[in-house]
A = this chain, B = another copy of it.
């Protein structure tokens, strides 16, 4: 069984809980980019974007490398496998529960039909 690391999940779900940071991940999915480029895309200050990048780095979703004046940002090293696994596991329990509920509802409807439709 997979063991989820609470702190890791905290950090990456928190990182994903912001539209700007999700946008950064999308942009980096297409091509690497500098802090300046990312800041321009999202119309915020360099300093503001730097902070987002730090959050993404701490979550392990982005790596950066400074060459000369420019810090280049890329995806990785984590690939959200753990988060995907957590969500999928939950979804399975979820759906099992909803299926069970469906059965109950179906059962009720069947009985209701057998007793004739209820008056309004």
Contacts and interface: CB of A to CB of B under 8 A. Distances in A.
The interface residues of chain A, by DSSP majority, are classed as helix
Interface string A1-24: 000001001100110111100100
Given A79-B91, A84-B84, A87-B87, A10 B14 contact: no
A13 B17 contact: yes
A95 interface: yes
Question: Contact size class for A?
Answer: 20 to 34
A67 interface: no
A98 B81 CA distance: 14
A18 to B, nearest CB: 7
Contacts of A94: 29, 75-76, 79-80
Interface in A17-43: 17-19, 22, 25-26, 29-30
A81 B75 contact: no
A76 B87 CA distance: 14
B29 A90 contact: yes
A6 B26 CA distance: 13
A97 interface: yes
